[in-house]
Amino acid sequence: MKKSSTQSGGFLDDFLEWMSSPEGTESMDALDCVFNALDGATVDPVKRRINWPDGESLSFDQSVDRIGKDSGIDRQSILSHLIGWLQMEYTPEGLDEKQMELFENQIEGWLEEYENDLPPTTDS
């Protein structure tokens, strides 16, 4: 069924259209790559390090470089998805509510400088 030109597709339709675009497919591939690379990693927000499953403890930039070297994905995509992983996906084990709030504040402080490097999002 063809969409009427006067009918707004809405967020879901726009998102699904983007997902099937080359840009959306590339972004989802980068997301999968970043999340798979970080499977089993832990975070030390005080030292601002990502502790990789192989024992390496890397800074944010070093982690971006490592994922880029292994995958060939562009730095901006990795940066964006690594920020998303730290903000929304990674959950440390064994923290009570107060400790979790402190952890989240430490992560936000850590990521502020990197979020400024991301290109602004545009509305379609």
Rg of the chain's alpha carbons, rounded to an integer?
A: 17
Mean pLDDT of 13-41: 84
**Residues near 48 by beta carbon (within 8 Å), at least 6 away in sequence:** 59, 60, 110
Domain ranges in the chain?
Answer: 13-115
- On average, the pLDDT of the chain sits at 84
In the prediction, which pLDDT does 35 show?
A: 94
In the prediction, which pLDDT does 113 show?
A: 78
In the prediction, which pLDDT does 1 show?
A: 44
Give residue-wise pLDDT tens across range 75-118: 999 999 999 999 989 999 999 999 999 999 999 989 887 876 66
Q: How would residue 16 be classed by pLDDT, with cut points 50, 70 and 90?
A: confident
Q: Is residue 124 pLDDT above 80, yes or no?
A: no
User: Which pTM does this prediction carry?
Assistant: 0.75
**Can you tell me the distance from the alpha carbon of 96 to that of 33, in angstroms, rounded to the nearest whole number?**
30
In the prediction, which pLDDT does 8 show?
A: 57
User: What token pair was written down for 114?
Assistant: 């990197």
**Phi-psi domain of 118 (left: phi exceeds 0; alpha: psi -120 through 50; beta: other):** beta
Count of other CB atoms within 10 angstroms of residue 95 = 13
CA pseudo-torsion sign 66, 32, 78, 70? positive
Q: Is residue 50 pLDDT above 70, yes or no?
A: yes
In the prediction, which pLDDT does 111 show?
A: 87
